Structure formats: structure tokens, C-alpha cells
Amino acid sequence: MAAQVRMVRNNDGPEVPLYTSPKQFRTEARGGLAVLTRNQCPGYVQCGLVALPRAQALDFMIFCQRNQKACPVIEVLEPGQVEARKSAPGSDMRSDLPMYSVYRNGVRVEDVPDVTSLWRDDLVTFLMGSNTSLDLALQRAGVQTERYRWPVTTKIPTEPAGPFHGPLVVTMRWLTPQEMIIATQLTSRFPFNHGAPIHVGDPAVLGCDLDHPLTGSPPPKKIPDGLIPTFWACVVTPQVVAVAAKVDFMITSAPTYGLITDLETDKFGIP
């Protein structure tokens, strides 16, 4: 039976297809589909991707181990390997994400839909769980996920490893007190998707740069009455760290464009 695809209209844009099959979504992305992965294939783990030269891979692995909240590793591929055999059999890391960011000497030089021509045999690919994976579980529990959500840089330093250092990036959501309690209880069961919030309350405590979110427009200056800022470590952290480390060459998933795996989110939770 063919996978179901339905069309929905964005609040401020054209209709976009919504997929339920990760494999079908990856196939379409390989063919040029360029849509945000948020809301796609609900119930499956989405990952941020980082591919960097083998010479820096050990230091980066240590960085991830020391900063597991922000960099929860799902799978690490061998140098030059392009298929995520455990999390997405049949996939191709060079083309199955809708958009990639390319860094040279710590500078983000371009965003492209395919990196096949840039791929190198010495690249080691890391896949890290994203909290976007939990949207369906949050929605089922009565927590809204469609608005009041921004990735922002903090002044909290990550624990360095080799050349890798820099500030922690967080996902800020504005939730009602009840939603905050539910979301905290639910996400704490999913350590491979950032786990529980790292902070609840005043963004200034983390030194959040609210004027320059990494995607989208800045949040309103005034938090609506009855909502509480709640913060989770974010998988965009390695991209910010790459800039600080001035890595000579690095490919990442572009912000809001992840790899959709075949792993079912519910099976990653701690009972």
C-alpha cells in the first residue's frame, strides 16, 4: 500500500506535502524536495547531521560525549560511508536531507540541497537526535508545538574538546504552566532527543540572544500572560561550535532540515 501524503497550507505560505513514511520522504528529498522536516513523518526520530574530516572526528566524538544534552549521538558512520545502516537503511547522507549547510574554516559559505559533489572519502558522519522528534508525543499529551518556539544562542559555554568549543544553543518554547509540567515529564523520558529542559523561566539567566534567533523572526518583546519560557538543549549547537572552532571543512544539516530516520520515537523512550 502506498504511503499517504496529504497537502496542508502553511500559515503564511503555499501548500506543502506532509509525509508519513520516512523512506518516501528521503526519496523525495533525494529528488529535490525542499521542505522543512518539522511536522514530517510524525512519530519517527529526526536527526541533525554533522560530517567532518576523520582527523577531527575523535575530538568531535569526545565533544559530543561531554555535551550529551545538546549532542545525543544516534549513529556514527565509518569514514566515507553514506548510508545510515542502523537508523535509515538504504539512505544516502549526501542527498536525503532537504538542505545542507557547508562550512569552510568556520564560515558558513552556502546552503545546498545536495552535497554529493562535495563529499570526501575521509568524512565521518554523526547523527544526533532532535527534539522535533517529540512533537507528536507532545501533541498527544496536550502540548502545543506549532507556535512560540525559537532556537537561540546562550552565554552558557559547552565543555570543550580539542578545537571544539562555543556556546550552548537552546530551543525556547513558551508554554502554559500545565504544558510545561507535561512537557518536562514527557521529554525527560527521551535522553536521545535532548531529554528534560535545562531551564524554566527568565531567558536572561541563560544569556539568551533573543534578538537574533538562528531561524525565523525574533520573539515578541513581551511574553504573553500565562506562558512560561522553557528551554531544551538544541542539536544546532554543533553548527555554532563549528564556527568557533574554525574547522577547515564541515557539512551539517541546515537548521530546521534534518534527516528523518526509520526509528520510531516511542521505542526510544524510557518507560
Q: What are 188-223's pLDDT values in tens digits?
A: 999 888 899 999 999 999 999 999 998 889 999 899
Look at residue 57 and tell me whether its pLDDT is greater than 90.
yes
Within 8 A by CB and 6+ apart from 114, the residues are 94, 95, 100
Residue 37, phi then psi, degrees to nearest 5: -85, -15
pLDDT at 4: 61
Number of domains present in the structure of the chain: 1
| Residue 57 domain-assigned (yes or no) | no
| Residue 252 domain-assigned (yes or no) | no
What is the DSSP track for 177-224?
A: HHHHHHHHHHHTT-GGGT-S-SEES-GGGTT--TTS-SSSSPPPSSPP
pLDDT at 72: 94
Look at residue 120 and tell me whether its pLDDT is greater than 90.
yes
Look at residue 9 and tell me whether its pLDDT is greater than 70.
no
Decide: 259 and 29 in contact? Cβ < 8 Å: no
| Residue 141 domain-assigned (yes or no) | yes
Look at residue 136 and tell me whether its pLDDT is greater than 50.
yes
In DSSP terms, which residues pair with 103 in a beta bridge? 108, 250
pLDDT (average), residues 55-74: 96
Decide: 193 and 137 in contact? Cβ < 8 Å: no
| Residue 226 domain-assigned (yes or no) | yes
| Residue 34 domain-assigned (yes or no) | no
Q: Which of 95-99, 128-132, 148-152, 215-219 has the highest mean pLDDT?
A: 95-99
d(CA 179, CA 75): 31
* Average pLDDT over the chain, rounded to an integer: 92
> How far is residue 51 CA from its own chain's centroid?
14
pLDDT at 154: 97
Percent of the chain past pLDDT 70, that is, above it, reads: 95
Closest CA to 100 of 88, 114, 79: 114
User: CATH code at 217?
Assistant: 3.30.2040.10
pLDDT at 193: 87
Within 8 A by CB and 6+ apart from 13, the residues are none
* Residue 142 zone, left/alpha/beta (φ > 0; ψ -120 to 50; rest): left
| Residue 56 domain-assigned (yes or no) | no
Residues 161-184: pLDDT tens digits?
999 999 999 999 999 999 999 999
Decide: 261 and 182 in contact? Cβ < 8 Å: no
* Weakest mean pLDDT among 70-74, 123-127, 143-147, 231-235: 143-147
Domain extent for 213: 133-238
Q: How confident is the model at residue 13 (pLDDT cuts 50, 70, 90)?
A: low
**Higher-confidence position of 244 and 4:** 244
Residue 177, phi then psi, degrees to nearest 5: -55, -40
pLDDT at 12: 53
pLDDT at 2: 46
| Residue 264 domain-assigned (yes or no) | no
Q: How confident is the model at residue 15 (pLDDT cuts 50, 70, 90)?
A: confident
d(CA 88, CA 255): 20
Which 3 state secondary structure label does DSSP give 60?
helix
Closest CA to 45 of 130, 104, 144, 166: 130
Tell me how crowded residue 227 is: count the other CB atoms within 10 A of its CB.
15
Tell me how crowded residue 90 is: count the other CB atoms within 10 A of its CB.
12
| Residue 105 domain-assigned (yes or no) | no
